[in-house]
Structure 1
Amino acid sequence: MTGRAYRGMSAEQRLADRRERLMMAAYTLFASPGFPATTIERLCTAARVSNRAFYECFSGREALMQAVYDRCVDETLQAVAAALATAPNSLDGRIEAGIAGYVTFVTKDPRRAHIMHVEVRRAGDCLTTARQRAVRGFSTMIEETASAFPDRMPAENTHLLALGVIGALQELLIEWVLSDVPPPVDQVISTAVHIFRRSFTP
Structure 2
Amino acid sequence: MAAAYTLYAKPGFAATTIERLCSEARISNRAFYECFGGREELLQALHEQCVEESLAVVAKAVQEAPATLDDRVRAGIRAYIEFATGDWRRARIMHLEVRRSGDVLTASRQRAVDSFARLIEEASAEFHPSDLLNRRLVALGAIGALQELLIEWLLAEEPPSIDELVGVAVHIFGRVLGES
Instruction: Judge same fold: TM > 0.5, yes or no.
Output: yes
1:85 to 63, 66, 73: 63
Residue pairs, 1:45-60, within 5 angstroms = 45-60=23-38
Residue 137 of structure 2 is matched in structure 1 by 160
**1:91-118 deviations in whole A, cap 9, x for unaligned?**
1110000000100111011110000000
Whether 1:191 and 2:165 are equivalent positions in the alignment is no
Separation (CA, whole Å) in 1 of partners of 2:59 and 2:73: 12
What do residues 120-162 of structure 1 show as CA deviations (whole Å, max 9, x unaligned)? 11111121000000001100000000112126x6421000000
SS of residue paired to 1:150: coil
Q: Residue 41 of structure 1: SS of its match in structure 2? A: helix
> What letter matches 1:156 in structure 2?
L
Amino acid at match of 1:193: V
Paired position in structure 2 for 1:110: 88
Compute the TM-score of the two structures, normalised by the length of structure 1.
0.86
Task: Tell me the matched-pair count.
Answer: 179
2:100 aligned partner: 122
User: For 2:147, which of 170, 184, 188 is the aligned residue?
Assistant: 170
Aligned-pair identity in percent equals 58
Normalising by structure 2, we get a TM-score of 0.97
- Consecutive unaligned residues of structure 2, counting only runs of 5 or more, are none
Deviation at 1:73, TM superposition (A): 0.4
Name the CA distance, whole Å, in 2 between partners of 1:109 and 1:180: 18
Q: Which has the higher relative contact order, 1 or 2, with Cα contacts under 8 A spaced 6 or more apart?
A: 2
Structure 1 segments (4+ residues) deviating >2 Å: none
Letter in 2 for 1:175: E
Deviations 1:25-67 (A, max 9, x none): 1001111111111111110011111001111111111100000
Whether 1:182 aligns to 2:174 is no
RMSD: 1.0
Separation in 2, partners of 1:145, 1:51: 45
- Amino acid paired to 1:122: R
